Amino acid sequence: MGKRLYVGNLSYHTTDATLQQHFSQAGTVESIHLLVDKFTGRSRGIAFVEMASEQDAQAAIQQFDGKDLDGRAIKVNEARPREERPPRSGGGFGGGGGRERRGGRRDY
């Protein structure tokens, strides 16, 4: 299994193809996951790149951390495992916000 890298401070114009071409200079790229805003479709400036081996990952960190890509000094390091978070509560419709709704006529 490959080694997953966090890549931050990316330009909003950086694409999967740009990352593939750039990181393949350090070794074999297994996969790329560029985070995209679901409303605008624009890059969020963060990606995860999985390299084929530990050696390829270390080479990528050494070659690219702090270096320019599309006009930005990118940050490259080992990705940490995702933290488990408690599920969010609320949201959506029917939360009420402390108000009680009554239908029909008012009888005071």
Domains and CATH numbers, the chain: 3-78 (3.30.70.330)
Question: Given this model, what pLDDT does residue 47 score?
Answer: 97
Q: Give the pLDDT band (50/70/90) at residue 82.
A: confident
> Which tokens in the block code for residue 10?
């990316």
Mean pLDDT of 40-69: 96
Residues 6+ apart with CB under 8 A from 27: 51, 52, 53, 55, 56, 57, 59, 60
Distance between CA atoms of residues 19 and 72, nearest Å: 13
Residue with tokens 């990528």: 60
Distance between CA atoms of residues 106 and 108, nearest Å: 6
| Higher-scoring residue by pLDDT: 41, 104 | 41
> Which tokens in the block code for residue 96?
């009420």
Q: What is the mean pLDDT of the chain?
A: 87
